[in-house]
Amino acid sequence: MMATPLADAIRPKSLEDVVGQGHLLAKGAVLRRLIEQGTSANLVFYGPSGTGKTTVANLIAAQTKKRLYRLNATTASLQDIKDIIADVDTLLAPNGILLYLDEIQYFNKKQQQSLLEFMENGKLTLIASTTENPYFYVYNALLSRSTVFEFKPLVAEDVEVAVRRGLSMLQEKAPLPLTWEEGVPAQVAMACGGDVRKAITALELLYDCTEAKQGAVTLTCEDAEQLAQRSAMRYDREGDAHYDLLSALQKSIRGSDPDAAIYYLARLLEAGDLISPCRRLLVIAAEDIGLAYPQAIVVTKACVDSALQIGLPEARLPLAEAAVLLATAPKSNTAHDAIIAAMADVKRGKVGDIPRHLQNVHADSQGQKPTQTYKYPHVYPNRWVAQQYLPDNLVGTQYYHYGENKTEQAAQRYWEGIKGE
């Protein structure tokens, strides 16, 4: 219907029209003050798609009166950067250049370095955006010359403001009278996963697919729901969202919250990811439940094997069983802490010689008097005898500390009784 996509047509022309991001753009917020003062600072905008990064960059360009160039790092080359820099100090860019570089994480180190000289002398202002953590993907020298601002996913109420603005614009441009059922704006806003662009695109598609009846067009909640199915999912198996979900799953289980554990498991499975939750549940069983309930890893392994054998969608059942079991099980990370501490000592060079009596008996030369004095515990009372096991330089070091759960407490009482501690 519209020559310009609706998402571009309704793009805000002032800070007051930007929805959400109050922590950045509210009156008195740092980024807002920088924009109002006509900042020439180099900026990195970090956050999910459709949260206003491009919109704010456009507003900064208008405020500074610099010539705006846009590049997307997924398709741009080093030559594209050179072509833009060639306009510095020419009549094409008398006030300097503002380069908006989208998805900067796709630029390699050499491409990012090519911008540094012109950022240093102030002739080029860079606003880079990324959906990934910039501290992992952006070259350090470039980061040190920039200020990072994080854009948050929008709540449905913020997105609904933009949806209603889009509906008003459609209503003005539509050749036939346009109305909508009361719940349509909220339905579209709720289903977009905090992405305004996705919401407005869905709204435009909803209008395009709705047939006129009796000389008018009415958008329905039923059609909006069908178009919105699965659109709220934010998931990239190589991106931050993937690891955030897995982290949330593990922390919910560690915190003994079965409802949150099931919720994050559902999000992973709904995105079609079966392998990642299987692997993470096995890790959780060892790391967070551990010796408090040693059978947990056995049950979890059986659930994981079953899930991988039957596949989705039925795999959700054994994985849900494992998630609830782990969330409601007693917790212990004593084995986890013990191996971390031991490996830290090894990395620090605390290796020492293995005590002679623990070395392989075949190390003794044949025909010579054995020098080993190893005591075989099974021939002693209670199958235990005192002897040195750690290297000399680590004698007395304690890596494992008994947990407070009943399983480890029982083991502690057992061994203290035998060892006379």
> Considering the chain, what is the average pLDDT of its residues?
85
Give pLDDT, residue 278: 94
Comparing 8-22, 144-158, 244-258, 351-365, which segment has the lowest mean pLDDT? 351-365
Give pLDDT, residue 361: 65
367's tokens: 């025909």
Residues 143-162, mean pLDDT to the nearest whole number: 88
Other CB atoms within 10 Å distance of the CB of residue 370: 10
What 8-state DSSP symbol labels residue 14? S
Whole-angstrom distance, CA of residue 330 vs CA of residue 407: 10
182 SS3 class: coil
Residues 172-190, mean pLDDT to the nearest whole number: 88
Residues 33-57, mean pLDDT to the nearest whole number: 85
Comparing 138-152, 225-239, 257-271, which segment has the lowest mean pLDDT? 225-239
**What are the CA-CA distances from residue 96 to residues 73, 81, 145, 311 (Å)?**
21, 15, 17, 57
Domains of the chain, first to last: 21-150 (3.40.50.300), 156-228 (1.10.8.60), 240-328 (1.20.272.10), 334-419 (1.10.3710.10)
- Whether the CB-CB separation of 391 and 353 falls below 8 Å is answered with yes
Residues 307-312, mean pLDDT to the nearest whole number: 88
390's tokens: 């750690």
Q: What is the pLDDT of residues 363-413, one digit of tens each?
A: 455 555 556 688 889 999 989 899 999 998 899 999 999 999 999 999 999
Whole-angstrom distance, CA of residue 227 vs CA of residue 211: 15
* Predicted TM-score (pTM) of this structure: 0.56
- Whether the CB-CB separation of 216 and 176 falls below 8 Å is answered with yes
**Residue 336 reports pLDDT greater than 90:** yes
Whole-angstrom distance, CA of residue 131 vs CA of residue 127: 14
Our measurement of the distance from residue 9's CA atom to the centroid of its chain's CA atoms, rounded to an integer in Å, reads: 31
Burial 40-74 (b: 16+ CB within 10 A, else e): eebbbbbbbbbbbbbbbbbbbbebbebbbbbbebe
